[in-house]
Amino acid sequence: MSRLTVYAAADPAQPILETEDGETIRRTLAEAGVLFRRWAATAPLAERAEEADILAAYRPEIDRLVAEAGYQSVDVVNMYPDHPDRVALRQKFLSEHTHGEDEVRFFVEGAGLFCLHLDERVHAVLCRGFELHSGVP
């Protein structure tokens, strides 16, 4: 279940909006120029699935997004507790940064929190996926 919390940038102590309702999240983010979609991540994957396996499992969804928006590249992050690059990757994602191009985040499992500073508001978007391991380690 995803969650959206919106704060006034000048007063982050008191949320303006807190919701887990998908339609409210979609509508609120659309007003800020951000596309939000949900779809079921139903392809079971091994706990440490390779990038190629993850891309193959979700090829129809990826191809649809590429066709709709003309994305030029796709990559996968498969993080787990003892991942050899976990410290460096965590630091990369903790650092506030901006992007000059559109980006899509799709969670099969786990979660990610994205804080979008848009106009005079901060939109904290918590995205969660589902645990769909096939039982294969």
pLDDT band at 68 (very low <50, low <70, confident <90, very high): confident
Where would I find the H helices in the chain?
22-31, 51-57, 59-69, 86-94
Domains of the chain: 3-128 (2.60.120.10)
User: Which amino acid, 76?
Assistant: V
What is the rounded distance in angstroms from the CA atom of residue 83 to the CA atom of residue 109? 16
Cross-strand pairs, 122: 7, 117
pLDDT for 88 beyond 80 = yes
Full-model pTM: 0.79
pLDDT band at 19 (very low <50, low <70, confident <90, very high): very high
- What sign has the CA pseudo-torsion 22, 26, 32, 35? positive
